[in-house]
Amino acid sequence: MVPKFKEVISDHGQYMNEWKARTNRKVIGYLCTYLAEEIVYAGGLLPIRIIASEEPPVNAERYMAQWTCPFSRGCLEQGLTGQYDYVDALVYPWTCSHTSATSFYWKEYVPNAETYLISMPKALARKGARSFLVAELLKFKNWLEQFGDVKIEDKDLERGIEICNTSRRLMRQVYELRRQDPPVITGVEAVEMVMSSQMMDKEEHSRLLAQWLENHGERPRIAKTEVRLMAVGSCVDKPQVLQMIEDMGANVVVDDLCTGSRYFWDDVQVEPDLLGAIGQRLIDRVNCPAKIAGDRRYQHILKLAREYNVHGVIVLHQKFCNPHGNDYPNLRNTLVENDFPVLQLELDIPVPSGQIKTRVQTFVEMLEVEKV
């Protein structure tokens, strides 16, 4: 593992403050990976993923009910306590009511931070979804130009697309190494690579990642286990959750998480209409349950489960997450009908470590017995 990746996740404030002092440029925080980061990079600004606090969000609960998902409350807590004071604006691609509340209260109660809402189509296959989204991206580009005092031309959009596509290509190379038995890296390390790519300059991240890929053959193989697992779900912004799972005697060899493969799996396919190309990726990408795209997501998850030869699937949901909670019955039925056992776990702040360890240990032991 590259030490820099873990450092940035644990102390993103120091990294960002140093980056701003070195570049004299602005930072755009975001709550959802449906942000068109290509446009942000085209404007010379830096997008950074907002993640939740690790402590109970007592300040955020002055504004948000306790039945709001812990990720949304935890992100607001970070803003209210000054952990993201270096963020110059919060951009929110509309995803769900809980994170939209985070954006609203951030605008009202976090000092010195502008906010910007990007409307997103919910039904991705509906006629007009692309034209609607491209119009929103054009408005976003115009706002960025004014906010950042920059002019974004086609050559800048091409550069932004190249920066993001390069990062995605390198991350897919990392995930290819997870197919091996045992995989070259742990599930924890892989997710830390993805999360750090959301929290640092992608050009710097890609240079470090390319070096790691060139030299990974020198590192010792990780311990082989009898059970290969897939992690599926929402924002798992606490890598220790995957560590707990792997500590129970399994290898998490692939995932479908917005802090994992769902973030980088699809590239922008360049075409003359560059904003259209960026928008088309957001429509075609592996979707989350907050977007309607038929069974496209289920088929993608099944494909990954087969290709990575997993023995079971752990579904990780933020507590009170309506989109993922409503999606779970159909997802579970799809997996079970295709002979993939499923364990569902809810995440909260703080992480319910005892419950996770106990239930995962039982699940892994069950899978080990089935393999005999």
Q: Are residues 130 and 181 in the same domain?
A: no
CATH number at residue 139: 3.40.50.11890
For range 161-181, the mean pLDDT: 96
Judge whether residue 3 has pLDDT over 90.
Answer: no
- 216 closest CA partner among 246, 177, 253, 251: 177
For range 276-288, the mean pLDDT: 96
Helix (H) or strand (E) holding 46: strand 46-49
The tokens describing 232, both together, are 């599926």
Residue ranges making up the domain that contains 202: 164-371
* pLDDT in the model for residue 8: 94
Judge whether residue 109 has pLDDT over 70.
Answer: yes
Q: Are residues 170 and 149 in the same domain?
A: no
- 314 closest CA partner among 344, 340, 336: 344
Contact 157, 134 (CB under 8 A): no
* pLDDT in the model for residue 223: 81
Average pLDDT, the chain: 94
* pLDDT in the model for residue 331: 97
Q: Are residues 14 and 72 in the same domain?
A: yes
Q: Are residues 98 and 208 in the same domain?
A: no
Q: Are residues 350 and 211 in the same domain?
A: yes
Q: Are residues 125 and 193 in the same domain?
A: no
Judge whether residue 148 has pLDDT over 90.
Answer: yes
Q: Are residues 65 and 185 in the same domain?
A: no
Which residue, of 131, 156, 181, is where some domain finishes? 156
**pLDDT tens-place string over residues 244-267:** 999 999 999 999 999 999 999 999
CA torsion angle for 277, 264, 82, 59 (degrees, to 10)? 100
Instruction: Answer with the residue of higher pLDDT: 370 or 145.
Output: 145
Mind spelling out the 3-state secondary structure of 263-329? HHCCCCCCCCCHHHHHHHHHHHCCCCCCCEECEHHHHHHHHHHHHCCCCEEEEEEECCCHHHHHHHH
Confidence of residue 160 (pLDDT cuts 50, 70, 90): very high
* pLDDT in the model for residue 218: 72
* pLDDT in the model for residue 240: 94
**pLDDT tens-place string over residues 299-316:** 999 999 999 999 999 999
Judge whether residue 372 has pLDDT over 60.
Answer: no
* pLDDT in the model for residue 289: 94
pTM for this model (two decimals): 0.95
Kindly report the backbone phi and psi dihedral angles of residue 93, in degrees, each rounded to the nearest multiple of 5, phi listed first: -75, 115
For range 66-71, the mean pLDDT: 93
Which residue, of 156, 190, 208, is where some domain finishes? 156
Residues 122 and 37: their CA atoms lie apart, in Å, by 19
Q: Are residues 168 and 148 in the same domain?
A: no
* pLDDT in the model for residue 125: 87
* pLDDT in the model for residue 276: 97
Residues 324 and 126: their CA atoms lie apart, in Å, by 21
Work out the number of other CB atoms within 10 angstroms of the CB of residue 67: 9
Q: Are residues 257 and 114 in the same domain?
A: no
Instruction: Please tell me the total count of domains within the chain.
Output: 2
Share of the chain above pLDDT 90, in %: 89
* pLDDT in the model for residue 169: 98
* pLDDT in the model for residue 1: 62
For range 182-197, the mean pLDDT: 94
Q: Are residues 171 and 143 in the same domain?
A: no
Q: Are residues 95 and 200 in the same domain?
A: no
Which residue, of 156, 182, 215, is where some domain finishes? 156
Q: Are residues 174 and 230 in the same domain?
A: yes
